[in-house]
Structure 1
Amino acid sequence: MNRQVTEAFDALADRYEKETDGIRPYNAFYERPAMMRMIPDVLSGLHVLDAGCAAGWYSEQLLRKGACVTAVDASLRMVEAAKRRVGARADVRLHNLEDSLPFETEQFDWIVCSLTLHYLPDWTSLLAEFARVLKPNGRLLFSTHHPFMDYVQFDQTDYFAVTLLRDQWTAGDRKVEVHFYRRPSRKKQTPERTERKRGK
């Protein structure tokens, strides 16, 4: 992820650690229940990669299911927050998902990638790396922003354009600009830029 994204999430780490895990309705009542329904109740003996772990909420849930968890994130402060949450029970590392994964081929049974891919300008290399490190019949479970939601909220004119969006989030008493991509199709196009007209 580019420097702007990592700096934004360094600034947002306290908010994620203290607020997002408990009271943010999108996370608590929509994305996380949907993702957790797709993960088996028992993962004992399985190796799981939490790709884009943020403050470690998914890592903790995977550990509770018995998984051997490795977690990575590009934000140092998010990695520190995840380590505070899971301690030595998981292998939590600083790693940018735009770089090759530092893992052996066919190392993981599962990869969980929650609300992370939309921060990347291109998925091709990362998906190839996911395929490399997954065992045969391994599974990738990911979530991302819904393209139509962002199409409406950011007043877009071309639904099929791959667009770099800029939003303003709140971290304590300051505003943090967060960049992410809306990608509704497989067509390779030059990203456009836009700014949200109202704050989040």
Structure 2
Amino acid sequence: MAYFIESETYIEQTFRRRSVTREALNRLEFEDCIFEQCDFSESIFTHCKFIDCTFKDCNLSLINMQSTRWFGVQFFECKLVGVDWTTADWPPFHLDSELSFERCILNDGSFFGLTLQGLRLVECKCHDMDFREGDFSHSTLIDNDFSHSVFMRTNLQSCDFTGSSNFNIHLLENTLDNAKFSRFEALTLLYSLNIELVD
């Protein structure tokens, strides 16, 4: 069933329990829209725009977002496994895309080389994610599980990692000026220096 019309613009609408899996969605524009319990898994978004939208309890795993723009979008309790965010449209004049993820599953995703200053990740599972060579300065990254995620030549200046765990961040290969960590978890940063810690 076709829920959305190609090249259509949707403003201030709410979409509930829509199942749009493995579909091709072209040149759609959503502004101030709310998506609740929708399933977009494995769909292809091409040249779409999501402006100031909110996703709640949605499945967007394995979506392809070719040249799709995301600005001011919030995700709550969503599943976004295997998403390659590098294929989206990120205008160079918007250093802060105002993306926010809360209690989401973002495993196996990639933010490689992106400039997403002010990114907000709160209580998310971020396993096996690629943050290499990105600029995430001034981001809020609290209470997340970063198991097996990769940081290299990443700008993490003034980021707040309070309550986050299982990160492997090399002190000499990343920018961490004024970053904030919980006291116990901060000790794991020293392992990258190949030093021995004693009581």
Higher fraction of strand = 1
TM-score by length of 1: 0.24
Higher relative contact order (CA 8 A, sep 6+): 1
